[in-house]
Amino acid sequence: MSQPDPSLSIANPEPKDTDALQKLGLALAGLGTLVLFLSWGNLPIPHTLGLILAIGGILGGISLYSYRFYMKQPPGIKNNGVWFKSLINRGVLGWIVGVILTGFYVLLYWYPEMIGFKPEGNEGLVAMFDPLSQFFKSTSASQWFVYGTLYTLAIVSLGVKFLFKYRHSTYQIKRTLSVMAAQLLMAYLIPEILAGLNYNDVTTQEGEYLGYYNTDLKNTWPLDYDFFYDWQLDAMQEEAYQPMGVLFLIIGIAMFLLVTPILTYYVGKRWYCSWVCGCGGLAETAGDPFRHLSSKKLSAWKLERWLIHGVMVFVFIMTAATVYGYFWNTGEVFGLNIYSTFQQPYGFLIGATFSGVIGVGFYPMLGNRVWCRFGCPMAGYMGIIQRFKSRFRITTNGGQCISCGNCSTYCEQGIDVRWYAQRGQNIVRASCVGCGVCSSVCPRGVLNLENGPEDKRYDMPPIIIGNDSIQIDV
């Protein structure tokens, strides 16, 4: 059928009158983005002013725009024109954004000097963030500080947009506030403040570097694959960092050993993937407009199971080798160099390329959860619990499904939700991150995320309820 021409306009076709406030919002966000690009091009913008314009412009502009845009419409599902827009439909704009994002990650990981990171004195984009870094911890910014700030900015500002968009759903509101807070506090402010208080990342007056360890509480092994690396374990035990260092060591171990399996048993992996996690946080906010691009094909599911469990096995082996190397101080296991055989390939292939470059850079091509679905070992680990030992399920409401396909289309994890719903069967899938969007978009009230007894969690009804044509003996 002839589709309307995918327009280049991001806002087409949408309520026609973009009013003055909306335009102001767009202009502010545009200005903020422009400042980032200009500073990257080394334009001499005063750092503090530039920073305020960039962060304030993007946050304020997006909030203002989405407030006006959504509040003018009655609350409800807002998917009009999703498949017509170039940006989110693999059109020209989509490709442009994809290339920019991918390029940014490549520079960030492998050529940080090209965005201005210079140990002898920053320039360009990174230099603009120096005042903020100085404010938190009295050192100049690193490329990671810039990245962390922008990442948090994306989650918070596009989280605000998501809140307006889904304002009719308390589940979506609470969940989004939670990922926003988790990113802002746990991943950003607390670590920066701890560093500022000299609990981390300290170089003594004698010039001795005391080391760095990860202070993002929610960034749990195995997603945080370098948790057991020797530099990390050493730093956590560094005297100057106590009691924080050891506390983080204990909490880190408790997170994957106790907290994760227990919570996943009770509520499914969603507590992490769509309520807390940083990767999930970006996917659910900045990535939300791209969710329909995930492949629903059976073949994609097959690939997913190989890949995600492959990565999981890889991280287990890599970590086992690492821990062995740490305690026996060999640097080798079975004659294989631990760094070059295990850590380095994992870090390059999975840590940087898969989770960063592909995971985020390819949002406009493959959808917003490529990493979470095909790669993340944490998701793999919790997925096994969710599938086999958990109280979580998506309940199908009897025979109410009309097979429309909204649930499958908007499942960012590419789960063919309809396949189950139209047979009256509950959905129990390892990969479900519990975003709840299938339930939100269902026009017939068929799907509900519930925690209940494991018993009968995924029984297959012999015939869909509402039809008494066959009687089932119970």
Could you give the angle at which helices 143-165 and 47-71 cross, rounded to 10 degrees?
20
| Binds other proteins by CB under 8 A, chosen from 82, 190, 323, 384 | 82
Residue 77 binds other proteins, judged by CB under 8 A: yes
**Structural contact between residues 217 and 186, judged by C-beta atoms closer than 8 angstroms:** yes
Pairing of strands 447-451, 336-337: unpaired
| Binds other proteins by CB under 8 A, chosen from 142, 337, 400, 425 | 400
Class of residue 346 by CB neighbours under 10 A (exposed 0-12, middle 13-18, buried 19+): buried
What is the x/- site pattern for other proteins, positions 426-465, by CB under 8 A? ----------x--xx--xxx--xxx-xx-xx--x-x-xxx
| Binds ligand SF4 by CB under 6 A, chosen from 158, 415, 428, 430 | 415
Instruction: Spell out the residues 6+ positions from residue 352 whose beta carbon is closer than 8 angstroms to its own.
Output: 105, 109, 110
What is the x/- site pattern for ligand SF4, positions 363-402, by CB under 6 A? -------------------------------x------xx
CB of 311 to ligand SF4, least distance (A): 19
| Three-state DSSP state, 461 | coil
Residue 1 binds other proteins, judged by CB under 8 A: yes
221: phi then psi, degrees, rounded to nearest 5: -60, 140
CB of 456 to other proteins, least distance (A): 5
Place of tokens 């821990």: 323
289: phi then psi, degrees, rounded to nearest 5: -65, -10
Instruction: Using the rule CB under 8 A, give the single segment among 79-87, 129-137, 303-311, 330-338 that binds other proteins.
Output: 79-87
Residue 468 binds other proteins, judged by CB under 8 A: yes
Count the residues of the shown chain that bind ligand SF4, applying the rule CB under 6 A. Answer: 28
CA 157 to chain centre: 14
Q: Which stretch of DSSP H or E encloses residue 28?
A: helix 20-40
Encoding tokens for residue 212? 């760095």
160: phi then psi, degrees, rounded to nearest 5: -60, -45
Instruction: Using the rule CB under 6 A, give the single segment among 257-265, 349-357, 444-452, 464-472 that binds ligand SF4.
Output: 444-452
144 binds, among ligand SF4, other proteins, none (CB under 5 to 8 A by kind): none
Question: Which residue type does 413 have?
Answer: Q
| Binds ligand SF4 by CB under 6 A, chosen from 65, 288, 418, 424 | 418
Beta strands in 314-371 (DSSP E): 332-333, 336-337
Place of tokens 């499958």: 408
Interface contacts to ligand SF4, rule CB under 6 A: 394, 401-407, 411-413, 415, 417-418, 421-422, 427, 432-438, 442, 444, 446-447
Interface contacts to other proteins, rule CB under 8 A: 1-4, 13, 15-16, 74-77, 79-84, 168-171, 174, 297-298, 395, 397-400, 402-406, 408-409, 418-419, 422, 436, 439-440, 443-445, 448-450, 452-453, 455-456, 459, 461, 463-470, 472, 474
